[in-house]
Amino acid sequence: MSAAKRHIVVVGGGVIGLSTAIALLDHLSSRYDVTVVAEDLPDHPSTTSPSPSPSKPPASYASAWAGAHHVSDAKTEEELARDQVTFDVLKRLHAARPPGFDEAGEPIVWNHQVEYFEQDRINRAAVEWYPDYRELDPSMLPPGACFGCSFSTCTIVVPLYLPFLFRLFLARGGRALHARVTSLEQALSLAESRTADFICNDTTASFAAPSALVVSPGLGARALADDEAVHPVRGQTLLVRAPWCTLSERDTVPNADLPRTAAVSPWPGLSRCNEEGFRDVYVIPRGGADGHFIVGGTRLPHDWSDEPREATTRDILAQALRYMPALANPHRSLTAGAGEAQPDDVDVVAVNVGFRPARSGGVRLERGPSLGQAQVVYNYGFGGVGYQASWGAALQCRDLIDDALGQARAPRGSTLASLDGRCQL
């Protein structure tokens, strides 16, 4: 380690914490060492048992249970900017394909997306910037929809993407500590321990005392940051097998704005935005050859139950079949006399429950009072938009760290130094 490097501690191993940690490491001047301290981390040989079946992540580790697709729901210019930066970085990562990117499969899959809106006030600004955007003819709209559009975007295949982020973090020289902490002071203390069992690629590296702390623990911020505004929004989703549910010729789009390396999934994505402005029906293709989809979903604030509910499963399927009846297995006999696909006609592989880490009043992305010699930046409260806002939030947080430590920010428009072409991937 160079003596000039500052040591930054990131509390949280979800998509926000890991993206922020990578952004700090992949800086133009490589001026930081980074330690992640987290109770939950992605699957990795050093974080899982030797048994063939790693333990199931808890519902509170929302990043492990997300869908996730990049479909902006931005309500403000700041939110939209975060989403657009993230989309740009995802495109660049897919094109650059850093080592380990597709180690277990494609973590980013491009797909054709259809959006239906039931409210009269349409937030076109949130989606009209996507590649291949076009508005649907009213004759193509399902009952109840007053507007529809389609565009090209990407699915983030969470079981592949989250471990990729962790591998990239380690490859960039970061280290992680799998630990549950009860205070931010404890996280700082553990990060400079000489006896802790760190996960890292270079076991000979030594880190200085922490100069700054990034607080990104998801729901853990309720206790660690003493923030009672943080609460769960329970989401129940289904993993569905439907390889027969492919794009029609009518849905084919040119994809002229996607990376040259992009392989567009033959499976479509779909969402419905309800009268309250929330996407309460969504079908997200997972990529791969098996034709798996994530189908959702629910938004139940302050609901801490992590047990699947059969009634919710059936309601999710009934709603999704209204918009994508092709999810039903064509080789399975439809319910006698029903005349249309029913929930029992869908091949459900798994039922998932996760707690989105929401915050009343919105995201907290700001500097806070220092802890001893460590400057503090808070970066949490993204609810269900963590993946689509992740890189935008990470780069904002990096700027705040630079400011707090008196370091020059990266040039405007810079993302990761490796993707900017200024250093070797």
Residue with the two structure tokens 């076109």: 124
Q: Using an 8 Å Cβ cutoff, are 346 and 327 in contact? A: yes
Find out whether 384 is annotated in a ligand binding site: yes
Give 343's contacts (C-beta < 8 A, 6+ positions apart): 313, 314, 317, 318, 321
Find out whether 235 is annotated in a ligand binding site: no
Phi, psi of 239 (to 5 degrees): -95, 115
Tokens found for residue 212 = 């700054």
Residue with the two structure tokens 């079949």: 321
Find out whether 203 is annotated in a ligand binding site: yes
Please tell me the chain's helix, strand, coil percentages from 3-state DSSP, rounded to the nearest 5.
25, 25, 50
**Would you call the peptide bond into 328 cis, given omega within 30 degrees of 0 as the criterion?**
no
Q: Using an 8 Å Cβ cutoff, are 138 and 160 in contact? A: no
Phi, psi of 6 (to 5 degrees): -90, 150
Nearest C-alpha neighbor of 112 from the set 9, 245, 232, 211: 245
Residues shown for the chain: 425
Residue with the two structure tokens 């939209």: 80
- CB atoms inside a 10 Å sphere around CB 397: 27
CA–CA distance, 340 with 320 (Å, rounded to integer): 13
Q: Using an 8 Å Cβ cutoff, are 301 and 358 in contact? A: yes
Find out whether 237 is annotated in a ligand binding site: no
Q: Using an 8 Å Cβ cutoff, are 86 and 394 in contact? A: no
Binding residues for FAD: 48-49, 181, 203
Q: Which residues are annotated as a binding site for D-dopa?
A: 282, 356, 384
**Binding annotation:** 48-49, 181, 203, 282, 356, 384
